[in-house]
């Protein structure tokens, strides 16, 4: 018998699919969108060049084509999904770059163009902790009363030395303050972290999880660092090669993290998903389902589950 409470299959962690199914009583898909935003870490406001691992698409490799309007982007995905799941609902996912980095009137026009479509039950908005001002916060609070809103914040690591190396360009204090600002307005928060960052040990990666347990977050995305072509990270790796986690190491670390993580935190992602043509390393990430299966097998081997050691 599975000791983990939030599961109706073989998963031993709180999957997003399980969360959506029990919240909305139907299949729910996130539709990734590219709204044409930029980033304060690219345009010189807080930094330049962006985070060193970030592609020119701003982590939006699987988002829509920004040359197409948002409704067209959304409908292209919806039409494919609707054929197989005609009863499905959808969440618009503003994914590429920093999706609160614009005047509120522009945000309102873009967000609500998707929110007004049929069968849309919510929005996920990916952004940075330093890119939500008070006017934007007020609007997000209003939006949260209209729909199921989730704000995604990139953290990657709690360790300031690593944050400087990856050119994150905001502090841990800035991140924490924004988490509490959003929480006070009852807006759910999902945090991105990244395993395998240069110089980070297993202990450091576990410390990031233990820190997040102290914050009022609703979900987490666990990524594996991957090196993409035409990024500052690719240049760094060529000049100063650093250790990249093996699949076995990554699986072991993720299982350690899940054991420590509060069982009430939903796992929105548990591995990376790079495009083959852009990937330099590690090649094992291209076999996403093998990674997922190995995590399941390792938790089963340990007779363990999310939150066992929390």
CATH number, domain with residue 78: 3.20.20.70
Does 5 fall in a domain?
no
Which of 181, 179, 184 shows the shortest CA–CA distance to 219?
179
33, 73 Cβ separation under 8 angstroms: yes
Does 193 fall in a domain?
yes
192, 202 Cβ separation under 8 angstroms: no
Residue 278 has pLDDT above 50, yes or no: yes
Alpha helices in 88-171 (DSSP H): 104-115, 134-146, 160-165
Q: What is the mean pLDDT of residues 79-88?
A: 91
Band (pLDDT 50/70/90 cuts) for residue 22 is very high
Q: In the chain, pLDDT over 70 holds for what percent of residues?
A: 96
Q: Specify the range with the lowest mean pLDDT, choosing from 2-6, 150-154, 183-187, 210-214.
A: 2-6
Residue 42 to residues 69, 137, 173, 230, 242, Cα–Cα distance (Å)? 23, 22, 21, 15, 25
> In the chain, how many domains are there?
1
Does 7 fall in a domain?
no
Does 197 fall in a domain?
yes
- Higher pLDDT, residue 68 or 1: 68
Q: What is the mean pLDDT of residues 1-29?
A: 89
For the segment 162-201, what is each residue's pLDDT rounded down to a tens digit? 999 999 999 999 999 999 999 999 999 999 999 999 999 9
Q: How far apart are CA 118 and CA 87, in angstroms?
A: 12
Which pLDDT does position 1 carry in this prediction?
A: 43
Does 232 fall in a domain?
yes
- Higher pLDDT, residue 114 or 49: 114
Does 233 fall in a domain?
yes
162, 171 Cβ separation under 8 angstroms: no
Band (pLDDT 50/70/90 cuts) for residue 2 is low
Band (pLDDT 50/70/90 cuts) for residue 203 is very high
Q: What is the mean pLDDT of residues 28-55?
A: 92
128, 98 Cβ separation under 8 angstroms: yes
Q: Which residues pair with 219 in a beta bridge?
A: 190, 266
DSSP state of 215: S
Which of 162, 170, 172 shows the shortest CA–CA distance to 98?
170
Does 310 fall in a domain?
no
Which pLDDT does position 137 carry in this prediction?
A: 98
Segments forming the whole domain that contains residue 52 = 16-302
């Amino acid at each position: 018998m599975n000791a983990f409470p939030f599961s109706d299959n073989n998963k031993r962690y709180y999957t997003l699919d399980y969360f959506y199914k029990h919240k909305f009583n139907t299949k729910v898909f996130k539709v990734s969108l590219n709204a044409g935003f930029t980033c304060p870490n690219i345009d010189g406001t807080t930094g330049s060049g962006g985070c060193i691992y970030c592609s020119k698409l701003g982590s939006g490799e699987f988002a829509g084509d920004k040359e197409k309007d948002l409704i067209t982007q959304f409908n292209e995905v919806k039409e494919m999904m609707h054929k197989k799941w005609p009863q499905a609902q959808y969440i618009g996912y503003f994914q590429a770059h920093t999706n609160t980095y614009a005047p509120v009137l522009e945000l309102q026009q873009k967000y609500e163009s998707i929110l007004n479509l049929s069968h849309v039950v919510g929005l996920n908005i990916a952004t940075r902790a330093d890119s939500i001002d008070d006017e934007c916060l007020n609007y997000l609070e209003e939006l949260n009363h209209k729909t199921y809103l989730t704000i995604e914040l990139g953290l990657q690591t709690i360790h300031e030395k690593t944050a400087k190396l990856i050119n994150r360009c905001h502090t841990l204090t800035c991140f924490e303050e924004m988490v509490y600002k959003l929480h006070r307005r009852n807006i759910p928060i999902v945090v991105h972290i990244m395993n395998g960052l240069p110089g980070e040990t297993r202990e450091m990666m576990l410390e990031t999880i233990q820190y997040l347990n102290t914050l009022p977050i609703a979900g987490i995305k666990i990524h594996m660092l991957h090196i993409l072509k035409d990024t500052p990270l690719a240049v760094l790796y060529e000049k100063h090669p650093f250790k990249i986690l093996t699949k076995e190491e990554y699986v072991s670390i993720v299982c350690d993290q899940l054991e420590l993580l509060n069982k009430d935190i939903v796992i929105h992602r548990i591995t990376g998903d790079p495009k083959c043509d852009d990937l330099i390393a590690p090649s094992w990430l291209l076999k996403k389902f093998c990674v997922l299966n190995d995590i399941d097998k390792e938790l089963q081997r340990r007779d363990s589950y999310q939150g066992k050691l929390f």
